[in-house]
Amino acid sequence: MPRTAVVPAAGLGTRFLPATKTVPKELLPVVDTPGIELVAAEAAEGGAERLIIITSEGKDGVVAHFVQDLVLESTLEERGKKSMLEKVRRAPALIKVESVVQPEPLGLGHAVSLVEPSLAPDEDAIAVLLPDDLVLPTGVLETMSKVRAKRGGSVLCAIEVPKEEISAYGVFDVEPVPDTNNPNVLRVKGMYEKPDPDKAPSPYAAAGRYVLDRAIFGALRRVPRGAGGEIQLTDAIALLINEGHPVHVVVHRGDRHDLGNPGGYLKAAVDFALKRDDYGPELRRWLVDRLGLVDC
C-alpha cells in the first residue's frame, strides 16, 4: 500500500445544495460518522501512513474533524461519557492528516496534481480515495496494491453495473490477463466517461479507489484542459494507457455506496443504520410498517 493516501474533497458538491452552501458534503453523517472519517479509516486500515485531504477555502471543517478537541474531551470525561469520548477520539487517532488547498475547482485531475510537492522522492505511488464512494467490505486497496506489486503501473477499482445504469459512470474497456486465475483482475485498454448503454465496452465502472504510479503527475501536466479549464483524472489515465503504462482493474464484488447525491447517501445511511445494534431493530420495524411489508 502506498504510504500516502489522497482524498480529493475540494469539489463544489452542487448535487447536495442547499446543504453544501455551508456544510461540506464530506462531513454529512452516515448515521453519526462523517463520510470523511469512514474513508480515513479505510486508508489507515489499508496501511497508509498519512492522508492528504485536498480542500478548498471555506471547507476547513473537513480537516478540523481530525484535530483533537481537548475541551470537548475533558467535558465528556468529567461527565463519565465514555462511549462518546471514544467516538470523539477516533478520528484524530486514525492517521496523520495533512491538507492542501485547491484554490479553484479545476477538476479531480487538477486536485490530485497538487499533492506532488508533498511526496518524498522515494514515494513511487499514491492511493486516491474519493470520499463520495464507500466500497465495502474494505480491503480492496490492499488487493490493488498487491496487483501493482506484481504487474507494476497503476491499478483502479471497478464495480459491475447493470446496463440500465452504466451511462452514469466512467466505464473500462478491459481484456483478460493471461497469466492469472483471478477473474477479478483485468487489464485496462481504455476508459470512457458516461457511455450510451449500447456503446459501453464492459459492465465495469470506476468506483473511486485508485493506486496510481507517480507517472500520473507527468500525465496530468500533459493532458489538455477540458470545459471550464478542468483537468480530468480519467484523461490522464487514458494518456498513460496509450503510452503503454500498465493499468489494471480489480473488480470489487461487494457493496458500494455513492454518498455524492442525496439518493445514494440515504441508501448508505439506511444500510449502515440497519446494521447497528442501537438503531437497526427499530428502524427495521418502522420500515416494514411504513412500506406495508410482512417481516420475515
- Enumerate binding residues for ligand UTP (CB under 6 A): 8-15, 54, 102, 105-108, 110-111, 130-132, 260
User: What's the closest the beta carbon of residue 113 comes to ligand UTP, in angstroms?
Assistant: 10
DSSP state letter for 213: E
The C-alpha atoms of residue 79 and residue 99 are separated, in whole angstroms, by: 33
- Nearer residue to ligand UTP within complex by CB, 213 or 258: 258
- Nearer residue to ligand UTP within complex by CB, 21 or 290: 21
Report strand pairing: 255-258 vs 133-136. antiparallel
User: What's the closest the beta carbon of residue 296 comes to ligand UTP, in angstroms?
Assistant: 38
The C-alpha atoms of residue 66 and residue 60 are separated, in whole angstroms, by: 11
Neighbour count for residue 179 (Cβ, 10 Å): 6
Write out the three cell numbers for 202: 464492459
- Nearer residue to ligand UTP within complex by CB, 110 or 187: 110
- Nearer residue to ligand UTP within complex by CB, 102 or 202: 102
Write out the three cell numbers for 32: 453519526
- Nearer residue to ligand UTP within complex by CB, 105 or 201: 105
Instruction: Enumerate the β-bridge partners of residue 50.
Output: 4, 96
Rg (CA), the chain: 20
User: What's the closest the beta carbon of residue 49 comes to ligand UTP, in angstroms?
Assistant: 21
User: What's the closest the beta carbon of residue 210 comes to ligand UTP, in angstroms?
Assistant: 11
Asked if 65 and 97 touch (Cβ cutoff 8 Å), the reply is: no
User: What's the closest the beta carbon of residue 112 comes to ligand UTP, in angstroms?
Assistant: 8
* Cell 455551508 -> residue: 22
Which residue's CB atom is positioned nearest to ligand UTP?
11
- Nearer residue to ligand UTP within complex by CB, 8 or 203: 8
The C-alpha atoms of residue 16 and residue 261 are separated, in whole angstroms, by: 6
User: What's the closest the beta carbon of residue 20 comes to ligand UTP, in angstroms?
Assistant: 8
Helical ranges in the chain per DSSP H: 35-46, 60-64, 70-78, 82-94, 108-113, 140-151, 215-222, 233-242, 262-274, 280-290
User: What's the closest the beta carbon of residue 16 comes to ligand UTP, in angstroms?
Assistant: 6
- Nearer residue to ligand UTP within complex by CB, 147 or 169: 169
Asked if 275 and 281 touch (Cβ cutoff 8 Å), the reply is: no
